Amino acid sequence: MEIYGMVTGKAGKSGYGSASTAEDVTHSIDAKHLTAIITGGTSGIGLEAARVLGMRGAHVIIAARNTKAANDSKEMILQMYPNARIDCLQLDLSSIKSVRSFIHQFLALNVPLNILINNAGVMFCPFQLSEDGIESQFATNHIGHFLLTNLLLDKMKSSARESGIEGRIVNLSSIAHTYTYTEGIMFDYINDPDRYSEKKAYGQSKLANLLHSNALSRKLEEEGVNITINSVHPGLITTNLFRHSGLGMAVLKAMSFFLWKNIPQGAATTCYVALHPDLKGVTGKYFTDCNVTTPSNFAIDTTLADKLWDFSIKLVDSLP
C-alpha cells in the first residue's frame, strides 16, 4: 500500500500523500506567532521548508555551516516575501564547539523557540573523523543534532510554558534507517575505519535520529512538557546529499524514477509535522508522505534508544 501511494500520490488518512507539496500541507496556516530554527536551510528541502515557513509568517532562523549560502537563501526568500522574518546563524553540526557557539548566538537574540527542525545532514561520505574525533556521518547527523536539541530544550520549555503554544521538534530521518549494521548501532566501533561502510554508517545515523526522537519523546511526556518530537522520512529527492554517490545510485535512480519526488514534495512531510494543527499532541511517531508509518524493529527498541541516549551523553561530556 505504501509503494502504491508513493507511485500514485494517493492521499493517506491525513488527507495528504507523496504528491502533496509543502505549500499544500500548510495552506491557510498562520504561523506569525511562531519562531523556528531550521538546520541546513540553505538548499534542497531545508531551503524549501524555510521558504514555506517564512511565507506562512514564522520567524525563521536558518542555521548553516556556510554563512554566505545562508544569507543568499535569506535574500531569495525576502525577494519573494518582503515581509518575511529570516535570520541566519552559523552552525557546523560536525563541531561540538560550533554547536555551543550557535546556542550562545541564538540565545542572544532573546526570541522564543517554538519549532526546531533538525534537517541538515551528510550522506555516504568516505570515512573521516570530525574535529572532535567522531566518524563524520554519526557526528553530523546524530551527535550534532542531539547536542543542539538538548541545549535548546530549556528555551523551548520556557517558550511553551509562557505562550501556551505547543513546541515541536522534527528530526529528519530516512527509510535508510532500515539499512544499518547488524547490531543497529555499532557502539564499540563507531570510529573504526576497518568496519566502516559508508551506506551502513548513513543508515546507522538515520536510525540514531529515530531513536533520539523516541527516547526524548518519552522523557518529555514523563515530565509533562508541552513539546512533541517526531521523525520524518522526506522521500527520495535529488539534493546535494547525493554528491558522494556513485554510478550505482545513478542506476538505481534511473530504475526507480517513478518513486522520486521534487523538492516541494520532499519538504511536505517536514512542514506538515512542524505546523499542521491536526498533529497537536502527537509525539514519538515516524511519518512518511505526511502519514504515520511503522519504522524498523530497531527504531522502536526502547532499550536500544536508552543505550544510545546514554552513549551520546557520555560521548559529548568526554569532549573538551
Mean pLDDT, residues 131-137 taken together = 98
pLDDT of 4 > 70? The answer is no
CA gap 39, 237 in Å, rounded: 18
User: Which tens digits make up the pLDDT trace of 219-242?
Assistant: 999 999 999 999 999 999 975 554
Is pLDDT of 117 > 90?
Answer: yes
| DSSP reduced 3-state for 131 | coil
**Whether pLDDT at 253 is above 50:** no
What does the pLDDT read at residue 10? 84
- CA atoms of 145 and 150, how far apart (whole Å): 8
pLDDT of residue 81: 98
Share above pLDDT 70 across residues of the chain, in percent, rounded to a whole number: 90
What pLDDT does residue 255 have?
Answer: 46
Angle at 7 (CA atoms; ends 252, 176), nearest 5 degrees: 50
Is the predicted pLDDT of residue 136 greater than 60, yes or no?
yes
Q: Which neighbouring-strand residues pair with 292?
A: 287
H or E stretch covering 85: strand 85-90
Q: Which CATH number fits domain 21-315: 3.40.50.1360, 3.40.50.720, 3.30.1490.20, 3.40.50.300?
A: 3.40.50.720
pLDDT of res. 259? 62
- Is residue 270 a contact partner of residue 172, using CB atoms and an 8 Å limit? yes
Q: What is the pLDDT of residues 203-223, one digit of tens each?
A: 999 999 999 999 999 999 999
> Do the strands 291-293 and 286-288 form a parallel or antiparallel pair, or are they unpaired?
antiparallel
Instruction: Output the pLDDT for position 1.
Output: 42
The pLDDT of residue 254 is 47
SS3 146: helix
Statement: residue 249 has pLDDT above 90: no
pLDDT at 256: 45
199 to 121, 181, 203, 212, 255: CA distances (angstroms): 14, 10, 6, 20, 19
Query: Helix 302-317 crosses helix 198-223 at what angle (to 10 degrees)?
Result: 100
How far, in Å, CA of 228 to CA of 280, rounded? 8
* Residue the block writes with cell 535574500: 75
Identify whether the C-beta of residue 211 lies closer than 8 Å to the C-beta of residue 299: yes
Percent of the residues in the chain that have a pLDDT greater than 90, as a whole number: 89
Which residue, among 164, 295, 311, 178, has the nearest Cα to 232 in the 3D structure? 295
pLDDT of residue 320: 83
What are the sequence ranges of the domains in the chain?
Answer: 21-315
Burial of 182 (0-12, 13-18, 19+ CB in 10 A): exposed
Higher pLDDT, 319 or 240: 319
Q: What is the pLDDT of residue 239?
A: 54
- Tell me which residues are annotated as active site: 196
The mean pLDDT value for 37-58 works out to: 98
Query: So what's the pLDDT on residue 34?
Result: 98
Residue 211 confidence (pLDDT): 98
Whether residue 47 contacts residue 239, with contact meaning beta carbons closer than 8 Å, is answered with no
* pLDDT given for residue 242 in this prediction: 47
pLDDT tens digits, 10-23: 899 999 999 999 99
